[in-house]
Structure 1
Amino acid sequence: MIEETGRKCVVVTGGGSGIGAAAAFAFAAAGYDIVVNYSRNREGAEAVADRCRIRGVDAICIRGDIADDADCRSIAEAAVKHFGRLDALVNNAGVTRYAEATDLEASNAEDFDHIFDVNVVGTYQMIRAAVPHLKQAELGSIVNVSSDSAFSGSGSSLAYAASKGAINTMTMGLARTLAPRIRVNSVCPGFVDTTWALSWHDEASYGDFKANLIDASPLKSIPDAADIADAILWLSDRASKVTGQCIVIDSGMHLGA
C-alpha cells in the first residue's frame, strides 16, 4: 500500500542503534519518511521508528541481511511499496571481528569472508537494489558509512580496515558511474562514542581508552553518533554539488597529534 505523503524517503541500513539510529533521527527531523532496516535488533529498530514518528513523519521497520541479495531487493522494494519513492540510501550496516593487527594468526579466511560479505558485497548489493528507484528521484543520494581505518589501516582488525578501503574505492567508482542522477559519498568516522566498541572492551578499559583518545585529539573530543549523522544528512540533503567524496570525521586525529 503506497502512502503518498509528499515527503522524501530514506532507507537506513543497520538503523536499530548507534550511527544508523542517529541518522534516522536526523532525517526524520529534516522531514524524511524513514525505512529502518535491521538484521537482528528488531526491538531497537522499532524504538527508532517510534521516535521518528514523534517528529511527525512515517517510519517502517524492515528486517533484512544485506549480505543476502534478495533481502537487499526486498528492502528497497518495501520502501517504494510503502512510500511510493526512494530519495536516499544510507549504507550503515556493517560488522567486524576484533583481531590484534600484530597477530597475523588472529584472523583467518572465514573472518575476511564474513566481514567482506557484509561490509563490501552487502553495500554493493544494497546500492544495486536501490539504484532503479533512486534514479526516479529529483537527485538521488547514497552515503556509505566507511571509516578512517580505510586510510590508516588500523582499527578493530586488518580485515575490517581493508573492507572500509574497498567501500571508499567503490564510493568513488560508483559516483562516476551513477552521475548525474545519483550522488555517492562516504563518511569515514574515527572512533565514535557508541556501544560498538564495547564488544572488545570492558567498561573500565573502555573509559580509559576514550580518555586517552580525547587527550590525543587536536579538538580534545571524540565524535558521537549525532556528529556523524549530521554529516550524513548534509551529504544527502544539502550537498547537491558533492559526489565521490570520502569525508573523515575524527576530531583531527588523522593529523597525527
Structure 2
Amino acid sequence: MRLLENKTIIVTGAGGNIGRSYCRGFLDMGANVVAADLNDISTEAQSWGCDDRVLVVEADVLDQEDCNRMADLAVEKFERVDGLLNNAGFFKSASFGSFMDITASEWDVCYQVNVRGTWQCIKAVYPHMKRQRQGSIVNVSSNTPYKGVPNFLHYVSSKAAIIGLSRSLAREVGPDGILVNTLCPDLIPDDDIIARQGKAADERTVEGRCLKRTQLPEDMVGAAAFLFSDLAGFVTGQSLLVNGGAHFN
C-alpha cells in the first residue's frame, strides 16, 4: 500500500515550484490532492495525470470565505480532509535590507500572508477534521529563525511566528485527534530567486550545510509525506528542519 493511499490533502500555494512538487509527490503516493492557488492552475494540474484524484481550487488565503470554500469543495469531492499543507507564503516579493527600511505596508503583507493566511486555512479545515476525529496540519516555517538571518526581519519573524502558532495549536486540537507540525526548509532557489539574489546566495548557503548541494523542491516531499502518513500518528507539536544540516534544532 502506498504511503498516502486514499488520504485527501489540501496544498496551498500549489502553483509554485515547491507546491507542484508536493502535489505530484503526494499523488504518486496514492493521495487525493486539492491543489489550491491564488491563480487558476488547471492547465498545470492536467500534466500531473491522476485527474480523478486532483481538485484545483482558486483561493486567496487572505479571504476566509475562499478558505472555507476550499475545504468544503474538498469534502464534497473526496468526502473528507485528512491533511492541510500550508505552503502558500510571502517570500519572493520580500525585500532585503535593514529593518529600518522595511515599509509598514510590506511588513503587514508579509504577516498577513504567512501568519494570518495559515490561521485562516486552519480554521477552514478544523470543523471537518474535528468531525472525523482525525487530521494532520503541516505548516511551513523556515530555517531562517534558527539561523537568525539578518536583513530580512519581517520574513524571518513571520516564520518564527508559525513555529509558535503550530506548538500552541497542537495543544488546542490534540484532544480532537488532530496533529499539528511544522516543516522548516532552507533556501530552495528557483530562476526568480537566482535573478534577484544571484548564484552567490545559494553558494553561500550550500557552504554552510553538512550536505554540500543546492536544496530542491523534491527534498521537501518525503518529510511532508511522513507527517501526513499513519507512520507519524503520534508526532505533534514538532518542527522538522529539512535543510541538509545547515542548522541543528
TM-score calculated relative to the size of structure 2: 0.89
Counterpart in the other structure of 1:18: 17
Q: Confirm or deny: 8 A CA contact 1:18 1:196 kept in the other structure.
A: no
SS in 1 for 2:142: coil
Counterpart in the other structure of 1:146: 141
Q: Which moved more, 1:134-143 or 1:21-30?
A: 134-143
Q: Confirm or deny: 8 A CA contact 2:110 2:158 kept in the other structure.
A: yes
Specify whether residues 53 and 128 from structure 1 end up closer, same or farther in structure 2 by C-alpha distance, changes over 3 A only. same
SS in 2 for 1:253: coil
Q: Deviations over 1:30-73 (max 9, x none)?
A: 11111100103x24x5423540517xx51011001101111111
Are residues 1:111 and 2:94 paired?
Answer: no
Counterpart in the other structure of 2:233: 240
Q: Percent identity?
A: 31
Q: 1:51 aligns with which of 44, 48, 51?
A: 48
Aligned length: 241
Are residues 1:226 and 2:218 paired?
Answer: yes
SS in 1 for 2:22: helix
Equivalences for residues 110-189 of structure 1 within 5 A = 110-137=105-132, 139-154=134-149, 157-180=152-175, 181-189=177-185
Q: What is the deviation of 1:131?
A: 0.7
Counterpart in the other structure of 1:9: 8
Provide the aligned C-alpha RMSD in A. Answer: 2.1
Q: What is the deviation of 1:211?
A: 2.8
Q: Deviations over 1:69-98 (max 9, x none)?
A: 111111111111111111110000001343
Q: 1:213 aligns with which of 205, 225, 232?
A: 205
SS in 2 for 1:94: coil
Are residues 1:78 and 2:73 paired?
Answer: yes
Specify whether residues 226 and 113 from structure 1 end up closer, same or farther in structure 2 by C-alpha distance, changes over 3 A only. same
Are residues 1:28 and 2:32 paired?
Answer: no
User: Gapped runs of 5+ residues in structure 2?
Assistant: none
Specify whether residues 169 and 219 from structure 1 end up closer, same or farther in structure 2 by C-alpha distance, changes over 3 A only. same
Counterpart CA distance in 2 for 1:156 and 1:120 is 20
Counterpart CA distance in 2 for 1:222 and 1:144 is 22
SS in 2 for 1:135: helix
Counterpart in the other structure of 2:242: 249
Counterpart CA distance in 2 for 1:196 and 1:231 is 25
TM-score calculated relative to the size of structure 1: 0.86
Q: Confirm or deny: 8 A CA contact 2:61 2:118 kept in the other structure.
A: yes
